[in-house]
Homo-oligomer: A and B are copies of this chain.
Amino acid sequence: MAASTPAVRRLSELAACVGGQVEGNPALEISGVNGLAEAGPTEISFYADGRYRSELEATRAAAVLADAGADVGPRACLRVANPHLAFAKISALFNPRPSFAPGLGKGAQVHPLARVHPEAAVMSGATVERGASVGARSVLFPGVYLGENAAVGEDCLLYPNVTVREGCRVGARVILHAGCVIGADGFGFAFDPSVPAHVKVPQAGIVRIEDDVEVGACSCIDRATFGETVIGRGTKIDNLVQIAHNVKVGELAILCGQVGISGSTEVGSGAVLAGQVGVVGHVRIGSMAKVGAQAGVSNSVPDGATVTGYPAIDHRVWLRSSVAFEHLSELIKDLRELKRRVQALEKKNER
């Protein structure tokens, strides 16, 4: 692994790169990016959230990225429409993807009938089985296992100890983080009371991961019973996420850490599932829907809706009910007292 030493760049170059306006010296030389608190005097940082006002005031950064409205004091500024996005792009300039020597490492196990592009790197301790293929510039770290007839596209990174089981398809520019498992058997059994036993339902399908997807460390995406489990283009999946057989996730979705999605459920494009959300099987999370952390989704969620809770309900209703929940025992006391008062009134009125 070798990252080319990042060149120093002028503020004006960075402005051109992200379509921003320079306030201050355009010839200012920038050597890198960093957080407001960590930045040194030749680095650029970003300011997009008033919560970080004091860090902004104390920063040693040479310049900051900010939007048109932000007061950044006397320091050099690169004005952009979306500071966070501009920061991501500039950071990528200074932190390019490392490059890896192509070819097969000494102890790599590549089947004679596998197809590994000459510009791909299969490191020592990685395995590529019969009929599997690896595209140009893709990198398989030690301990990666690529099963029979599995396919990995161009420019992918498969970090150490990733497993991609037989027949699964991985698109281009996909990142599979260490220890994730693509294409383990779906969890399907039929109970046979005559034995008794849970009889395994063969899981004969595959997983298909489209381009530009990222899958977090130790996340698991199970192969379909038949057909495909699909992760759509540009979707990002965090660590320790469980995706069951035959799930279809649309494009550009965000699945945060420890989310679990049960079998045959669909997640629409652009949907965001916060940490530890669980979703039952055979439902649909709508496009652009938002599901709050730890929610338990037991029914389909309409496009664009925001739900939270267990079971998940409209987010605003949940918020109100959650506030009320804290006062539940007082509520019961109040009700009891009110009963007594009504009873007293009733007695009086009987007379």
Residues of chain A whose beta carbon lies under 8 Å from any beta carbon of chain B: 1, 33-35, 37-38, 51, 82, 84-85, 87-89, 91-92, 94-95, 105-107, 109, 123-125, 127, 129-130, 141-143, 145, 147-148, 159-161, 163, 165-166, 175, 177-179, 181, 184-185, 187-192, 196-202, 204, 212, 214, 216-218, 220, 222, 225-227, 234, 236, 238-240, 242, 244, 252, 254, 256-258, 260, 262, 275-276, 278, 280, 282, 293-294, 296, 298, 309-311, 313, 317, 320-329, 331-332, 334-335, 338-339, 341-342, 345-346, 348-349
| Minimum distance in angstroms from A282 CB to a CB of chain B | 8
Given known A-B contacts A278-B294, A294-B278, A349-B348, A257 and B187 have beta carbons under 8 A apart: yes
Contacts of A341 in B (CB 8 A): 342, 346
Q: Looking at the complex, which one of B84, B192, B256 makes contact with A190 (CB distance below 8 Å)?
A: B84
Q: Are B109 and A107 in contact (CB under 8 A)?
A: yes
Q: Are B326 and A317 in contact (CB under 8 A)?
A: yes
| Minimum distance in angstroms from A129 CB to a CB of chain B | 7
- Complex Cα–Cα for A92 and B200 (A): 8
Q: Are A258 and B258 in contact (CB under 8 A)?
A: yes
Q: Are B91 and A201 in contact (CB under 8 A)?
A: yes
**Please, which residue of chain B has its CB at the minimum distance from the CB of A311?**
B322
